[in-house]
Structure 1
């Protein structure tokens, strides 16, 4: 792959998504946190500190997921529907470079969003005098970005061979299933039926185990509640490997498509 072409494609995607006013999400996030920090003490007088941090991280996760899914599923489909993909692949750009470049462009936007929302969260924690561990919050934000990177790869992989609407529904389904894969596996073992256990094991192997990339609840209680460094590194490796596998599948499918 030509890194110069990848940079140009990624930059164009970043600018295009910014022009779509995606960064208005930051203003919406500020409104959400301002509302939460004002009203939470009314509902949870003794636990509002932990509830606010939990709410902030959950809102960050949700807004990032919305961007990853809705933008990711349309990255390639939009080019196909407008027929501009014919112009792009006629140039000295391989289909793999086009797909990876678009992925990196959206990933750079998600990195900006995650960084900005993390900074906003820290400001609100200071304003509300909420005790927190900055290291645990930064680790949580990094794993959130890793999870969004994986979900972006899922969105693109599904978006290259089906419509944007169906790809969006399927991506959200993968996200929901990915958060309960360990529970599904345990349920199959408790059932003690070979067929069900085999099915649940297959689902566990195929679907991403997103619980391995979710440490936001641990961040609420500081570094002491986080998994040990070996587990964290293992989970990072898992997320990167799964993402690369999805991108490879997406490239394979996209390279076989005819327009």
Structure 2
């Protein structure tokens, strides 16, 4: 690779990094990390109340509750912030300033995704640390390795949802983008069940339709390891690598579509 190519790549990464940093700072300034405080308070309340509600199963419930709450709070940020990132720039007219600069629309989309993914990484890391502390104080038996793997795959899932939210946010209003993204999330959670339903129907048309939906929709169940972490059933390393690779490739694919759609918009 010649010197000019290296310089070009460095400039591209620098521009993407600048956009990502700006997004990160903006989202943090919106007090999004208050969710961390809310999560800590909710877990403390659960720690105090669960012994009186379910004495026999409190420990498993506390572990399951902590992982589920992390997923819900992260999903709220990924969908509601992600769908609004592009439209906010358009409404404020700041998109004209960005496009006037030597920043391609592909770099713009990737920078937005990196910035919000950075926020989600901080959010998931902070909530994981709080969860570990509460579980330790409550003397809940758990595997640190399994919990960290589950949290890592939760981040991948949220990053994928962020890419989908950006894709819808590029071509429609924030409200519709939010609804569409949430719909894809729900269908993605049950995409494997769609295939099973198609086979049970024993109808070639239905089976072909469900297979098509499975190929298009993200298989989010691959990235949901909450139950596996609770019951120490984390998949083997080769399965984890395959599922992580699936998430990364899907993110790249969705961002490519989002960038293509954004490049066709006129401002």
TM-score, length of structure 2 as denominator length: 0.95
Cα deviation 1:141-192 (Å, max 9, x = unaligned): 0000000010000000110000000000111111111000111110110000
In 1, Cα distance between the equivalents of 2:21 and 2:248? 22
Q: Is 1:162 equivalent to 2:191 in the alignment?
A: no
Counterpart of 1:185 (choices 182, 195, 199) is 195
1:207-246 aligned within 5 A: 207-222=217-232, 225-246=233-254
| Structure 1 ranges of 4+ moved more than 2 A | none
Q: How big is the shift at 1:43? A: 2.2
| Equivalent residue pairs, number | 257
Q: Is 1:42 equivalent to 2:52 in the alignment?
A: yes
Q: How big is the shift at 1:6? A: 1.2
- RMSD of aligned C-alpha atoms? 0.8
Counterpart of 1:196 (choices 193, 206, 228) is 206
In 1, Cα distance between the equivalents of 2:103 and 2:234? 44
Q: How big is the shift at 1:39? A: 1.4
In 2, Cα distance between the equivalents of 1:43 and 1:106? 38
Q: Is 1:252 equivalent to 2:260 in the alignment?
A: yes
1:139-178 aligned within 5 A: 139-178=149-188
Cα deviation 1:227-254 (Å, max 9, x = unaligned): 1111111101111111110000000000
Q: How big is the shift at 1:137? A: 0.3
Q: How big is the shift at 1:196? A: 1.0
Helix, strand or coil at the partner of 2:171: coil
In 1, Cα distance between the equivalents of 2:246 and 2:110? 20
Runs of 5+ unmatched residues, structure 2: 1-8
In 1, Cα distance between the equivalents of 2:249 and 2:28? 29
TM-score, length of structure 1 as denominator length: 0.97
